[in-house]
Amino acid sequence: MIRTFNAPSAYVQGCGVLDSIGSYVDADGTSAVVLADETVFDLVGESLSTGLEASGFTVDRIEFGGACTHAEVARIAERAGDADVVVGVGGGRALDTAKAVRAEAGSRLVTVPTIASTDAPTSSISVLYTEADEFDEFQFHGANPDLVVVDTAVVAGAPTRHFRSGMADAMATWFEADTAVRAHATNVFEGHSTRTAHAIARTCYETVREHGRSAVAAVERDAVTESVEAVVEANTLMSGIGFESGGLAAAHSVHDGLTQVAETHGATHGEKVNLGTLTQFVLEGRETDELVDLIDFSLDVGLPVTLADVRLGDRPEVRLRRVVEADVRTLRDDSQRAVRGDAAGGQRRPRHGGRTRTRASRRASLTSRFGYRFFKRTAPERDRRRLLTPASSR
């Protein structure tokens, strides 16, 4: 078995760190292109330029159009020319675009997430979309960013919705990486997980659970506390390493399926992933207590737990079954194999003492409805009304 582990070369996180970003960029040349959308340039453009220029860089700003498409990558790559450093700034879309530009330009790459909304800042892949904003393809660049710089003051000052979405993305990391290990599935680099990646994924989840409630309360007030620092690191660094080197499973497959339904386009990546994690719990036949625990935490921090929360409350079964059946099938099999512990070459290692194929299969039959009925049936009475009310009207 070949085990692989990849990560960004350097990671810097702290309050106000953007002012000195230039001192962390290790580059032979002196030209930098900075890629960000208008909102983000307004927020951090000045401090970024000042920070880079203070270390001798010439800075060329390129405005990001907001969509990570082939056309946008080509446009920006042409503008970037032979710049020594590409600096991508903003949310997942801007950073994914910067990664694709770096792949074409051959320069060094710095990512500067200004929201802790996904684990895109540290990963080596880009998610490309069509002009109609539908998923197009994953680009596997084979190289992670050379440097990731996260200014926690900027992240804490952003809308809390982004922050809690990143927490959902981070929590999924553990359940997917753990399932991938038990299924002997390969990671993004087509190797098997290391114990290192597995441990990082576990710590990622534990950090979000330990600090999440407190961190969300702080971000509501734009405050940077130790809990905020902890969750930013989990959402960004631990989650990125954990998913790429640990492995993915059903949660992100369900997310990918949901992106095919136009009604969900208003939901963030992390919000859709949270439904994916809950669905994966059902697929794996986890105990109701575990499911309820994750639902309780999600409700506490303001994450969606029902299809109605992502605008699919109106008889979703027909649409969802049509759209996601094919997408989920493979990973469902992986999840069941993991529960049974009978993947090729593996030994029998049921996760919760004695769980069997029958039980997994029974639970998995709920898959075609994304656990919708299961959620309705098992929701604690006190949360039932809330669970069935769209987040938007709470």
Ligand X SMILES: NC(=O)c1ccc[n+]([C@@H]2O[C@H](COP(=O)([O-])OP(=O)(O)OC[C@H]3O[C@@H](n4cnc5c(N)ncnc54)[C@H](O)[C@@H]3O)[C@@H](O)[C@H]2O)c1
Check binding of 274 to ligand X (CB under 6 A): no
d(CA 32, CA 78): 14
Q: Which does 76 bind (CB under 5 to 8 A by kind): Zn ion, ligand X, none?
A: none
Least distance in angstroms from the C-beta of 308 to Zn ion: 22
* Cβ atoms of residues 123 and 243 within 8 Å: yes
Residue 158 binds which of ligand X, Zn ion, none (CB < 5-8 A, kind-dependent)? ligand X
CB of 48 to ligand X, least distance (A): 12
169 is a catalytic site residue = yes
Residue with structure tokens 């790429």?
244
Contact flag: residue 257 with ligand X (CB under 6 A): no
Nearest CA to 16 out of 58, 61, 57, 50 is that of 50
CB 258 within 8 A of CB 275: yes
Closest to ligand X by CB, 273 or 387: 273
Q: Is 360 in the site for ligand X (CB under 6 A)?
A: no
Instruction: Please give, one letter per residue, the 3-state secondary structure of 201-214.
Output: HHHHHHHHHHHHHH
In the list 12, 18, 34, 40, the residue contacting ligand X (rule: CB under 6 A) is 40
User: Nearest distance from residue 92's CB to ligand X, in Å?
Assistant: 2
Which listed residue (127, 218, 295, 366) binds ligand X by CB under 6 A? 127
Residues in the chain: 394
Which of ligand X, Zn ion, none binds 96 (CB below 5-8 Å, type-dependent)?
ligand X
Q: Which of 269, 309, 297 is nearest to 118 (CA)?
A: 269
Distance, CA of 212 to CA of 199 (rounded, Å): 19
Per rule CB under 6 A, is residue 269 in the interface with ligand X?
A: yes
Active-site entry in 146, 151, 162, 169: 169
**Residue at 222: amino acid letter:** D
Minimum separation from the CB atom of position 158 to Zn ion (A): 18
Tokens read off for 345: 């070459």
Residue 223 has a CB neighbour count (10 Å cut-off) of: 14
Binding of residue 234 to ligand X (CB under 6 A): no
Is 162 among the catalytic positions?
no
- How would you classify the pairing of strands 125-129 and 108-113? unpaired
Q: Which residue is nearest to Zn ion (CB)?
A: 169
Q: Is-contact 66 93, C-beta < 8 A? A: yes
Q: What are the structure tokens assigned to 181, written together?
A: 């290990």
> 195-220 vs 288-301: helix axis angle to the nearest 10?
40
- Is position 100 an interface residue for ligand X (rule: CB under 6 A)? no
Residue 264 engages ligand X in binding (rule: CB under 6 A): no
CA angle 312, 313, 314 (to 5 degrees): 95
The annotation places the binding site at 37, 92-96, 114-117, 119, 123, 129, 169, 252, 269
Question: Which chain residues interact with ligand X by CB under 6 A?
Answer: 37, 39-40, 43, 68, 90-94, 96, 114-115, 117-120, 123, 125-127, 154, 158-159, 165, 268-269
> Which residues are identified as catalytic?
169, 252, 255, 269
Question: Which chain residues interact with Zn ion by CB under 5 A?
Answer: 169
The annotation places the binding site for NAD(+) at 37, 92-96, 114-117, 123, 129
The annotation places the binding site for glycerol at 119, 169, 252, 269
